Amino acid sequence: MCSSDLPSAQADDLREVRRTAIVRAIESQRDSVVNIHGQKLVVGSDDDASGDLRRVNGMGTGVIIDDRGYVVTNYHVVEGVKKIEVTLASGKTVAGRLVSHDPRTDLAVLKIDVEEPLPVIRIGTSSDLMIGETVLALGNAFGYEHTVTRGIVSALHRSVEVTRTQKYEDLIQTDASINPGNSGGPLLNIAGEMIGVNVAVRAGAQGIGFAVPIDRVLGVGTDLRSEEHTSELQSR
């Protein structure tokens, strides 16, 4: 007998049993995660040393941190993108604009114009993270919108050199699957609180991903929004 054959009360009870902490965490925060798309010009390719520019489709993830339409993401997601498109959980796509960024931490703040307040991510803290605790990554993995993966906190305070010009400090290491397109998305704890922003994976490795701790994101994000406000005042 399947659940659809049971009386409605029993079916509801079984459904509640299946609604684990992970399910509740994703259900509660999913609408505050957006998908980011755009095109950018890059130099050459892996097997082309000509230096010619080519146009590529970029993708990433963002998190709504202010119901007026402010979104935090990774700067490398939107760097060089002239037309930023942001798709909300409802499926509606709107234009986004880069209002400020911090290349040192690879964080950026976007603004999208909205008519109604947007759902905001629930913010946690990264100050009390425990190695081994369950975490969830939510994002636009390989273009598959709102993909959810699960893992644990593998280590804390990692330093990661991605390129000769980009090095990250004090990262959270996780084995939750993080793929191209996850960048800028939230790392959640089991309570559905954002405790980091997914930023990088270790090339050639499996189960090694990194996130910027939320306490650092909040500090940088506040500064970036202050910069935009200052710029608006000066332009008046």
Residue 131: pLDDT band (50, 70, 90) is very high
Query: In sequence order, what E strands does the chain have?
Result: 33-45, 48-66, 70-74, 84-87, 93-102, 107-112, 134-141, 144-161, 167-174, 186-189, 194-201, 209-213
| Phi, psi dihedrals of residue 182, rounded to the nearest 5° | -75, -20
Instruction: Using the predicted structure, report yes or no on whether residue 30 has a pLDDT greater than 60.
Output: yes
CA–CA distance, 219 with 215 (Å, rounded to integer):
7
Nearest to 148 by CA among 37, 26, 21, 34: 26
pLDDT confidence band for 84 (50 / 70 / 90): very high
Range scoring the smallest mean pLDDT among 118-127, 138-147, 192-201, 202-211: 202-211
**pLDDT value of position 229:** 47
Residue 95 is predicted with a pLDDT of: 96
Per-residue pLDDT band at 211 (split at 50, 70, 90)? very high
167-190 per-position pLDDT tens digit: 899 999 999 999 989 999 999 999
Nearest to 119 by CA among 167, 81, 61, 69: 69
Which of the two residues, 30 and 165, has the higher pLDDT score? 30
90-94, 196-200, 218-222: the lowest-pLDDT one: 218-222
Residues marked active site are found at 76, 106, 183
Distance CA 100, CA 225 (A): 7
Tokens representing 125 are 């803290």
